[in-house]
Chain A
Amino acid sequence: MNRRKFTDWLLRLASIPVAASILYPIIRYFQPPEVAEGTATTVEAATVDELAVDEYKIFRFGTRPGILIRISEDEYRAFAATCTHLDCIVQYRDDKRMIWCACHNGLFDLSGRNVSGPPPRPLEEYQINVVGETVYVSRT
């Protein structure tokens, strides 16, 4: 290899870091930054007079939806509302007394267990604390 070839080769090689220093920021830019996961482990999901027996609501738990169901006068249940099958949001069916996902007919019982349809896993269950008039939901 003579000197000219060597310089030529060196210049060509230098184009790699140049290209990399332009492309790396661009590629990284495309990746959306992670949304800060709600750090709160407890949220106010509802007030006591908001739900009658056999009624439910979807509440915000950080960035994710949760489902709160009043199953009797003094008993509530709360779960992550994202179906474990394909991420649809579930709802409560008072006719079946079950949690139902409308997308692919998945059913969960009132402990969150997947009992029929395609969902592969149970829903994550949250803890309930009723303090005065407020229903608090917390993640363990």
Chain B
Amino acid sequence: MKQSIYAWLDERLQFYKIKQVVDKKDVPVHKHTIWYYLGGMTLFLFIVQFVTGMLLLFYYKPSAEEAFESVQYIMNEVYFGWLIHNIHSWASNLLIAVVVLHMVSVFFLRAYRKPREVTWISGVILLFIALGFGFTGYLLPWNQLAYFATAVGTEMAGSVPFIGQWLLEFLRGGPDITGATLNRFFAIHVWILPALFIIFVVLHLYQVQAHGMSVPPQIEPNGSMKFYPDFLLRDAVGWLIAIGILAALAALFPWELGEKADPFAPAPPGIKPEWYFMFMFQALKVLPATIGPIAGDILGVVVFGIGAILLVLIPFLDKRAEHGQPNPTLKWIGIVVIIFIIAMTIWGELD
């Protein structure tokens, strides 16, 4: 019976084709193999976000009047609501951390080199999408801290040359942060970003599948392991540990909801963005009001914008990687940028 159902399905869905692909898929084994697991971990955390996010939608109410109360309700009344909400918050933070680690490892292993330029570009776009998720999701509980952090963040968008004012009003749904902003952020968070995410993750995974795992230049692999079941089972162990860590963080360090946002109350002290935006926030804070003829914040935003574009273009800036030649200049630029980001983040958090 079981056999005949399988045969019937196989004839129509042609599982054997998938099986052929999976059987052929190998993962090279060498001293840097461990970094390959970060991609699977990122995907796993995204799935956690999709599942917990869908669950939160059953009770969350996206309006300025009800959002805060509905999150309170989820956390205090709904069965396991505290667990779902805290896992969603914690996983979003872990997700950004893992995405960044994944990117840093790919950068130093130079896996972006030909023919994997599109894999890199789609990966950087996925990082930006993840940051967009973080930025829009932060406002949704409609508490004081998020309200003012969003005010600051969207104000920065207003410093973008030429389109700043338009961008600011587009994000806020008007000149100020109101219920309209919340509705926009909600729409972006639950529809636009997930749709974009799916498009780019399909492209990304298709590229990974098409080209296989990159072996760093000058590394000779000591053989390979089967993707299924050897690599996937190791992946699964990591995911199981991740679930345990998330559940433990959710139970031991629950997210503080704070006070409901009040547009007519003075901003409380200690307004700060999520840690992954801290380096930008801090850099803009310490820039002088004017640098030469240009306003400091505008210059800062422009520099970060150029940085983002250069990040996307890395495969085309490092032509030497294609031929397996070392590129110490790029390596050191990468190290300096990372040190700058870490230093600014720590400074901002301590400030």
Contacts and interface: CB of A to CB of B under 8 A. Distances in A.
A32 interface: yes
A25 B83 contact: yes
Contact of A25 (B59, B77, B80, B240): B80
Nearest to A25: B80
A30 B243 contact: no
B55 A29 contact: yes
A33 B80 contact: no
Interface string B11-30: 00000000000000000000
B58 A30 contact: yes
Contacts of A25: 79-80, 83-84
B342 interface: no
Interface in A83-117: none
B273 interface: no
Nearest to A29: B80
B245 interface: no
Interface string B29-51: 00000000000000000000001
A32 B73 CA distance: 11
A21 to B, nearest CB: 8
Interface string B140-157: 000000000000000000
A98 to B, nearest CB: 39
A18 B77 contact: no
A37 B83 CA distance: 26
Contacts of A12: none
B55 A33 contact: no
Contact of A18 (B55, B59, B80, B240): B240
Interface string B57-94: 01100000000000000000111110110000000000
Nearest to B84: A29
Contacts of A33: 77-79
Contacts of B79: 25, 28-29, 31, 33
A29 B58 contact: yes
Interface in B205-245: 240, 243
Interface of B: 51, 55, 58-59, 77-81, 83-84, 240, 243
